[in-house]
Chain A
Amino acid sequence: MSRARFLPLIVFAFIVAAVAWRLATPKDDRIASKLEGQKLPAFALPPALPGKPGLTSADLAGGKPRLVNIFASWCVPCIAEAPVLLDLRRRGVAIDAIAIRDKPEDVAAFLARHGDPFARIGSDDRSQVQIALGSSGVPESFVIDGAGVIRAQHIGPIMPQDVPDILRTMEAAK
């Protein structure tokens, strides 16, 4: 009986430890796509604005790795990411984009204001391709190798400190 007296205290200590652990290492709310390492699902998106081609899955299996940026003109972190994408473009990364739930005039205004590093932009106005890719928000980026296989997913804006990692992944995808 004497040892059982401490049982509630031990249970309490466990609860405190569990709470302290979760406070110290918060839960990661990001949802990673399970398609990493798999073939890109087939899709065909119309152009997001006149004068630039749309995006199909066939465009992403052309023998060279490409970065696919999922963005939107109404997305605030995408503005922060824009100069970094321009920098990646300058370093020779081929970038395509999928514009989520966007209007052509809004996309045009966004690109005019924040720069346009994209070779192709597909318009996904019902988020259906976004869901097919296992993406859960904007901005997100996928590294696709020359065979059309998803090599990596970057969740959230690509920030300057992420550039070396992206360049390394692009290099490895060659």
Chain B
Amino acid sequence: MKCALFALLLIAAPLHADSSLPPSRWANEQLPEARQEAAATALMQELRCLVCQGQSIADSDAELAGDMRALVRDRIARGERPEAVRKWLVERYGAWVSYRPPLEPLSWPLYVAPIALLLAGAWLLRGRFRRRR
């Protein structure tokens, strides 16, 4: 009985949450010009997938990530600068969509914390050394 149930599980089709259309052009195809492709890849690695949040669109297999890759390559092939494409997306989805956080009051702790921790560590060590002497 258990075996039969397990066999059923093997042939069960997962619920499809994907469309039946093929991936967009440029979703999985490199741009012919190497320099543009390098710029596009660098940007795609710093853009967050809207579906599997936590992956970059370069890593994600989600259809929307594919369409975002197509958008990035399209725009860069048309001569847009990567930062302009990033800005266009941030205008729509917020700074959240970019893995490179902007320097703004809200993100200051992010940049200040490492320095503060280093200073705190140095201060602790100083205490240690003084006691040794």
Whether B64 pairs with A35 at a CB distance below 8 angstroms is no
In the complex with contacts A29-B53, A126-B70, A101-B92 CB distance below 8 A: no
Chain A interface main SS type: loop
Category for how many chain A residues contact B: 20 to 34
Return the chain B residue nearest A100 by Cβ: B19
CB pair B21–A103 under 8 Å, yes or no, is yes
Contact A76 B15 (CB under 8 A): yes
Instruction: Name which residue of chain A comes closest to B70, CB basis.
Output: A126
Q: Is the CB of A128 within 8 A of B92?
A: no
Asked if A45 lies at the interface with its beta carbon under 8 angstroms from chain B, I say: no
Query: Is there contact, CB below 8 Å, between A101 and B63?
Result: yes
Interface positions, chain B 3-45, Cβ under 8 Å from A, are 15-21, 24
Within B60-94, which residues are at the interface with A (CB < 8 Å)? 63-64, 67-68, 70-71, 89-94
Given A136-B64, A137-B51, decide whether A74 and B24 contact each other with a Cβ distance below 8 A. no
Instruction: Find B20's partner among A35, A74, A127 (CB 8 Å cutoff).
Output: A74
Number of interface residues of B (CB under 8 A): 25
**B108 on interface, CB distance cutoff 8 Å:** no
| Inter-chain contacts of A74 with B (CB < 8 A) | 16-20
Residue ranges of B at the interface with A (Cβ–Cβ < 8 Å): 15-21, 24, 50-51, 53, 63-64, 67-68, 70-71, 89-94, 96-97
Interface CB pairs A-B, < 8 A, 12: A31-B96, A34-B92, A74-B20, A106-B20, A125-B21, A126-B67, A126-B70, A127-B67, A131-B67, A131-B89, A133-B92, A134-B93
- A residues near B (Cβ < 8 Å) are 29, 31-35, 72, 74-76, 100-103, 106, 125-128, 130-134, 136-137
